[in-house]
Amino acid sequence: MQIFDLSDVRLAMRGATRPLLRLNCAHIFSQAWDHFVQEVSVASIPTIAELRSTIVRMEGRYRRHDEAELLFDVYEKLGERFEQDLADERDLLLSKAAAMMMIKYWVEQSGSHP
């Protein structure tokens, strides 16, 4: 990080350095924010294929538990409702994944985690 002596600029601009400094800071912040958002976006947003794969894997893993049998009946009904109500595939898959997480939590709390 460089530190600049702004005394010459102040004299030349007669007090106009504050707006210039604010503009420069805003530009630097904007660049840093854009980089951060790009990094987070790439690292944390699962693809449609990853969501599908996760749901299939979790269904297979938790469906075989007796404790989750009734919850899977509700899960299936919720899945039908999600398909009726949600037009976007990502929203549908995220909703199913959230319902699946509830079943995962229930199985883990019952003490019969696979």
Per residue of the chain (114 residues), give pLDDT as tens: 455 455 554 555 555 545 545 555 565 666 666 666 665 555 688 999 999 999 999 999 998 888 888 899 999 999 999 999 999 999 999 999 999 999 999 888 887 655
Q: How far apart are CA 63 and CA 82, in angstroms?
A: 19
Give domain limits for the chain.
7-44, 48-110
Report phi then psi at 8, rounded to 5.
-65, -40
Torsion, Cα 73 79 82 83, to 10 degrees, reads -130
Residue 1's pLDDT is 47
Residue 112's pLDDT is 60
